[in-house]
Structure formats: structure tokens, C-alpha cells
Structure 1
Amino acid sequence: MSTIFALATARGKSGVAVIRISGNEAFEVGRQLVGTLPKAGRFGLRSVRSRDGVLLDEALVLVFAGPNSFTGEYVVELQLHGSRAVIQSVETAILQTGLARPAEAGEFTRRALMNDTLDLAQVEGLSELIEAETEAQRKQAMRLYDGGLREVSETWRNDLLRAAALIEATIDFADEEVPVDVTPEVRELIGRTRDSLLREIAGSEVAERVRDGFEVAILGAPNAGKSSLLNWIAGREVAITSDVAGTTRDVIEVRVDLHGLPVTFLDTAGLRETEDAVEKIGVSRAKERARAADLRVLLVAPDGSEEGADLVQADDIRVASKIDLSGAEGISTVTGAGIDDLLERVGAILAEQAEKVGTATTARHRHALQRACHELDLAAAHLDANSDTPEISAEHLRSAVAALDSLIGRVDVEAILGEIFSRFCIGK
């Protein structure tokens, strides 16, 4: 496998830039650039020179011997001064050795996967960690990257393998009396694992919201103050406000970090009956997005109208708007009264939803868990039918194990690697 290199930090002017070299020739490339390398696992300050001896920079050089590195290969990292000129000159010097080529996007992490220093779920966790924008996203990504999914999947795997082994033991006694009835233990193992999988499936849907963002739809009649509230939340004029009913025709979105959670607030068209063809489309879109949102905030107009009340669900929020006019308790986008309290309520409700998150975080994880659940249902049904073919139940259990193995990349890896690594930057 060829030796690769890339800038591992953001390209452009910076205090420090890190160039990573990985592969069998990494040490030789390093020696041609800096002379004597520090011992593996150590670091040292070295002069970096071109092929003809020109001083390019002073660098802190870190050396890792495989498999004790991120990629599992021999690795040399150069911590350089982060000017464009220094980076370009050092990259050129590496190319001139003829021993290394530029890395492709995600190639370092792909090698870590191939060399078993990371499993597939950890690779996905690393991708999410790099993309994390809020504290909740960071924590969720870190659980995955730290091997949380591998740990829980090993428990499921071991329980199902034991259940399959117990069933297969009865096959060995096909012509004899089975010494112990294994069915109760098998049922208990299947039931326990299935319950755990169902909890994880539910948690994966919440995890997707933590990663992609919760949606909160602001509903109400025309001129109820929806656009003004959105502008207040955004801290800038993102929506046009006027006294003319029907000003907002489409859904306007603002993404914020609310108590560590990514939240997108949706300003929807005023909900009313209208003959205006364009406004009708806006009202229809507003209702569609409101139904799909994680939470709805219904603004009650000063006259008491609650347009959109039919869309409100149990945990949604009703709040009086324009209280500077009505004197009621609620919010005012003129004075700011009550808005902080409203956002606290929104944050608390979404935080409660986020507590249900599990270790599985993607649609791929959820589909694998659902396949495993389906196989367990078939195994249990066949077992309960008192069939004289226990090997069929055992085979369904083996299929469930295979589905769980796909979570961390033991099987079915190649089909999804392209999609996963397409999200990585060069240098990672």
C-alpha cells in the first residue's frame, strides 16, 4: 500500500499547520526532510530542508510506529508554521522524494478502518465529531467514536450466539432425550435482546434530530407576530414584517444553538382561508412543515384567535402574543417580555426528547437494528410453534447476529464505505 501525505489542519494562514505522512515509507520520507528522526513515540524539533538542502522551516516532528498510530501504519507528523508558502514548499519537498502521494479525502481514516484501529461505527462517530456544532452533537458523536455502539452490540451478539448455541445443542441430541429444556433460556435471551434493540431504534430517531437539528414551527394567524418572533430569536431581520396580512408566503428558517441543542425555528405563513393562489401554497406548506416539526409554538393573537390550533399536539406550547397591546401574560416582540421564558420552555421540552438518545445515531444503524429485530421475531415465532426443526430458529438467530455485525463493519462494509468517506476532508 502506497505512502500518503496531506495537510491535516485547515488550509490557509494559521499559527500551526500539521502535515501527516502515513505508510511503509513514512520514516524514510521523514528522514529525507529532517535528517535523524526522533524515536517512535517521541517528538523533537528539527530543521525541514528541501531536496537541494534549502531550509524550509523549523518543525516539531512526531513519530509513531505501526500499529501504534491513528492509521495503524508508520506515521510522521510535521508541526509547521502555518503560512501558505511553508505548507506548499514542504508538500513539494515530500513529492520530490518520490516515496509518497497526496492522500484522498478520508484516506487516513479509511486506513484506520482497514487496519482495525477503528471500527465502522467509530469512523462514523469521527465524521460526526468533525461536523459537530453544538455541545449535544459533540457528546453524541463522542459516544459513538469512543466505541459505545461496539460495546452494546457485543452484548447483543454474545447473548444471541449463546441462544443459537443452546438451540443447536438440541440438534446434537436429535436421536436422544435432551438433558435440559433450553427453550426458557433461549426465549429470555431473545426477549431481552429484542427489547434492548427496540429502545435503541427509538433512540436512533432522536439521535438523528440531535445531529441534523430539531425543528420548531411557529404557528398562528396572520399578523400574530410570528415573523417578529423569528427575527428576535435570530437577532437580525431575517423575515419581512408588516401589518399587511399574508406577507409571509413561504417557510423561513433560522438555525440556532439552544442550550447546546441544534434547533431550527420555522416562521410559517399565517394560517387562514384565502383566495390568493400563492398564499394558499404558503398555508399548505406551513401546515405540512408544522405537522412534521418536533415542536409547535402557537401564538395566540390579541383578539384571542388561535389559527392552527388543530395542528397543536400534547407537548406543544400555546402563548399569547403582542402582550404590549393586550396586557395578558405571554410574549412581546416590542419589549422582549416573555421571550427568554418561552425559549427556556422550548429548550426544556427538546432536552427531554434528547435524553432518549441511544448509541445508534444514523439511518444505517437503525436499519441494521430493524433487520436484527425482524430475525428475532421469526426465531421466536418458530420456537413458539414447537417445531421439530430447531435449526430454522438457530438460522434466524445467526442472521440477527449478522445484521448486528454490520453495525461495526464485520460484514457488508464495502457497499457503504463510499458514502461514509465522501463526508471526510482530505487530511482526515
Structure 2
Amino acid sequence: MIIYALSTGTTKAGIAIIRISGNGTKELLNKIIVNCILKPRIATLCKIKDHITNDLIDRGLFIWFPAPSSFTGEDMAELHVHGSKAVISALLLTLSKFNNCRLAEPGEFTKLAYENGKLNLLSVEALSDLISSETEIQRKQALKILSGDATKKYTNLRDRLLKILSNIEAKIDFPDEDLPEDILKNIKIETKDIINLINEILNDSKTGEKIRDGFKISILGPTNAGKSTLLNYLSKREVAIVSNTEGTTRDLIEVNLNLDGYPVIITDTAGLRKTSDEIERRGVELALKSAKNADLKIILLDAKNPYFSTFLDDISDKNSILVLNKSDLIDGAINLDNAKLKKYILVSLKEELNLDNLINEIKERLKDKFLINDNILISRERHRLNLEKCNYHLNVFLENNSISEFDKAAEDIRIASRYLGKVVGDVDVEEVLGKIFSDFCIGK
């Protein structure tokens, strides 16, 4: 089966690239390319025709990648043509006329690369993240994982586990043979070291996931403090309705932003107050839930009446920034006797006063959260869950008072190595493949 797809965007452009992969690709090319010799990995100018009508479709470049030295591991080609809709449509129609040739599904080229051993599961995910990256820090993280350093570290840990398992299974297979005492002693020492290394990977404040998904910032405060106005200001567009009527915002309004190169998700929430209105009460519950899940909370109060309610007192912590709005309406001292937070930033959203200080404070908080180092090896929740399950079974193994329970010990180590292998895809990971490849665009 041959698959094909447009790998570049669908908007009008100077160049469009159409990928073709599968057994029979060479024969297909010989039928649509006029008088050109297929030279591996060399861009060649050619005429491209309809193989049935012989009508000229376009003049462009083709590159031939014979198996196994291709992205998919199969025979593969790229056709670089002019990016008009007419040219693209004509070429795709021509390809559809071949037997055993169909349009590729989303992510199918990458899936073939995975199935043919060109990429492991970590690399596939990193490639998806690279394509989806919108900020510099996301691009760097995706490239770091794609480079293979993370794969090497996980593979090394799994190899060490398999060595432990082989020593234990040797005792099971040959019960009459005595394993050297130093090997039995080193088994648990080695296991403890692996647990410590995995704990170091897990102890990353979930920075990798935050870089990939976005740093969560919740704007919280009483009604009519200016939360929606602040969201619109940071978004540089009107995404939330602003009104003098209290309780206008009753649901969560989320906006994805690139804030000085950092990916953030800013959420406007319902005003925090006690209410008998069922819909507004639900909005308050959602606001409190958003506060609980936020990486940073902007607590916005009216400078004229900066009352720190019980709601705000409960959610205030070191990851909070206190902002007092409507500074243009005050001329005296501000009373913060009841406030849990004493340090604040005074702004006026209406007059756009002192907002640079707020944005700079947010950026400083982001820098502290987004420090990238070589220990950041987790970018998705499934990585973390598998590592946690791996460590659980390693700890169960260590809790055995005697190494004599070899059958049970071998099973714990075997399960632990299986969970570690799932991170890079060395074992069956079919349950996650569908979700991962569906995130790709067609043509990749």
C-alpha cells in the first residue's frame, strides 16, 4: 500500500510538498515524472504529469528516498511543487488514480517511522511537540528530548533493571547453585540507586509538563475588581465581557498566550462571593478549583475597598501576586490589615497605569518556574505515571526482608522494568499510540 499527503499548509504559498511512501513508490514516480532518473536524496528538477491523460500538472523538484534510508523506513519520495490550490488538487487527484494508493491518515508517516524502528515513542511525542510548539522554550524542550538524551537515560536505567532481573532469575533456574554473596548484596544496593535516580527525575516540579501544556495563571478576586479587564489587557483583545453589573463572569474563560517566550494559560474566573444564585455559585466553585490547579494566582482587589475575604485568604500562598486595581480613584492610604498578603502592586486598568510592573513580576515568576536543566526528562503525564509505578514496584521489592522469595522478587522487578520500558516504547504501548498519532497533522 502506498500513502500520500500534502505535508505543508493548505493556504496559498510559493511551495507545497507532497509526500509519498510505500512499496511501489518508485514505479509510481516513473509514471508521473517526465524523463528523469531517480537519484537517491538528490533534488531534481522535473515535469510532473497525469499518468492517464499525460497532461502536464507542474514543473517542480522531486527527491527520492529509497528504503531503508528514509523517514518512514520504506521507499519514499517528496514532490516540491508550486503551492496553488489548483496544482495541489491536480496532483493529489492523479495520485488517487493509482491502485493501492490512498490518502494518508493523520500522523501515518510518523507511525510508519515508529513501526519500522526509525523513531521510539519518546521521539514521536517530541516530534509532535516540536510541530505544535509556539514558544521558544517549547521548541527547545522538544528538541532536547528529540536529540535522544532522554531515551539514553531511560534505556540505561532499564538495562540496569534487566541485569538485576537476570541475576534473580539465575537463582530461580538453578536453585542448587549458590550465587556469589556480593551479587545478592549488590542487587538491593543497585535497586536503591535506581529508585533514587528515578526520584530525581520525578522531583522536577512538573516543569516539563508546564512547558508543553502552558503555565496556568488564574485571575481571582471579588466581583467588579477588574478581572475580565485584566484578561483582555494581557490578551490584547476582547475575550471577556466587561460590565459594571456584578457577577457577569460565571464560567472560566481561558486564553493561551506567549508571554515573553513563555507559554501561559490565563484564566478569568467568577467573582468570589457568597451567593444564592445557583449558576453563580457554580461559577465560584469553578473559580476555587481553578485556583487550586493554578501555578500562579493573580489576586485582584479594588484599591478603594481591598477586603480580603475568607475565599481569598484560603487560596493565598507563595504562588500568589496581590494586585490592587483602580488606583486612579484613591488618594489616601490603603488598609490591608485583614490581608494575608502584604506586598502588592498598585495599578489602574482603566488608565493603564503601572501595568508594566505587574507584567514584569509575572515574567520573573515564570523564569523561576521554567528553569530548564538536564534533569527535566518528563514532558507528559504518562511518563510520570509509568515512572511512579516503576518506583512503587521497586520499593515493594526492597521491602522484602529476605531475597529468598525469588519468584515474587523477580515479578516485582519484571513489572518495574515493564513500566520503565513503556516510557520509550520498548514494550507494548498500543493503548497510547492512537492518541499520540491522532495529534499529528495529515502529511506528518
With normalisation by structure 2, the TM-score equals: 0.88
Contact 1:221 1:306 in 2 (8 A): no
**Match of 1:376?**
394
In 2 relative to 1, CA 222–365 (structure 1 residues): closer, same or farther, beyond 3 Å?
same
Q: Is the aligned partner of 1:366 residue 2:370?
A: no
Could you list the per-position Cα deviations for residues 235-288 of structure 1 after superposition, in whole angstroms to 9, with x for gaps in the alignment? 223333344433333333232111222212222222223344443333232222
**Match of 1:316?**
320
Question: What's the offset of the Cα at 1:293?
Answer: 1.5
Question: What's the offset of the Cα at 1:5?
Answer: 1.4
Q: Distance in 2 between matches of 1:40 and 1:159?
A: 40
Cα RMSD after superposing both structures = 2.4
Could you list the per-position Cα deviations for residues 44-79 of structure 1 after superposition, in whole angstroms to 9, with x for gaps in the alignment? 101112223322111111111211110011111110
Q: What amino acid does structure 2 have at the position aligned with 1:368?
A: N
Give 3-state SS (helix, strand or coil) of 2:57's partner. strand
Contact 1:204 1:366 in 2 (8 A): no
Q: Distance in 2 between matches of 1:43 and 1:112?
A: 22
Q: Is the aligned partner of 1:414 residue 2:418?
A: no
Contact 1:61 1:78 in 2 (8 A): yes
Question: What's the offset of the Cα at 1:80?
Answer: 0.2
**Match of 2:234?**
233
Q: Distance in 2 between matches of 1:102 and 1:304?
A: 61
Which region of structure 1 is more displaced relative to structure 2, 387-396 or 317-326?
Answer: 387-396
- What is the aligned-residue identity percentage? 38
Correspondence list, 1:34-49, <5 A: 34=33, 35-49=35-49
Q: Is the aligned partner of 1:9 residue 2:21?
A: no
Q: What amino acid does structure 2 have at the position aligned with 1:369?
A: L
**Match of 1:137?**
138
Q: Is the aligned partner of 1:165 residue 2:175?
A: no
Q: Distance in 2 between matches of 1:350 and 1:392?
A: 46
In 2 relative to 1, CA 171–279 (structure 1 residues): closer, same or farther, beyond 3 Å?
closer
**Match of 1:103?**
104
Give 3-state SS (helix, strand or coil) of 1:118's partner. coil
Which segments of 5 or more consecutive residues in structure 2 lack a partner in the other structure? Answer: 335-344
Could you list the per-position Cα deviations for residues 125-172 of structure 1 after superposition, in whole angstroms to 9, with x for gaps in the alignment? 222222222222222222333324311111211221232334445567
Q: Distance in 2 between matches of 1:105 and 1:239?
A: 34
Question: What's the offset of the Cα at 1:25?
Answer: 1.1
**Match of 1:298?**
299
Q: What amino acid does structure 1 have at the position aligned with 2:381?
A: A
With normalisation by structure 1, the TM-score equals: 0.91
Contact 1:167 1:182 in 2 (8 A): no
**Match of 1:344?**
360
Q: What amino acid does structure 2 have at the position aligned with 1:111?
A: L
**Match of 1:353?**
369
In 2 relative to 1, CA 278–54 (structure 1 residues): closer, same or farther, beyond 3 Å?
closer
Q: What amino acid does structure 1 have at the position aligned with 2:325?
A: S
Contact 2:209 2:378 in 1 (8 A): no
Q: Distance in 2 between matches of 1:162 and 1:204?
A: 31
Question: What's the offset of the Cα at 1:111?
Answer: 0.9
**Match of 1:31?**
30
Q: What amino acid does structure 2 have at the position aligned with 1:50?
A: D
Q: Distance in 2 between matches of 1:369 and 1:178?
A: 30
In 2 relative to 1, CA 199–246 (structure 1 residues): closer, same or farther, beyond 3 Å?
same
Question: What's the offset of the Cα at 1:353?
Answer: 2.4
Q: What amino acid does structure 2 have at the position aligned with 1:56?
A: I
Could you list the per-position Cα deviations for residues 204-258 of structure 1 after superposition, in whole angstroms to 9, with x for gaps in the alignment? 8433332222221112222322222222112223333344433333333232111
How many pairs are equivalent? Answer: 425
Give 3-state SS (helix, strand or coil) of 2:193's partner. helix
Which region of structure 1 is more displaced relative to structure 2, 235-244 or 306-315?
Answer: 235-244
**Match of 1:20?**
19
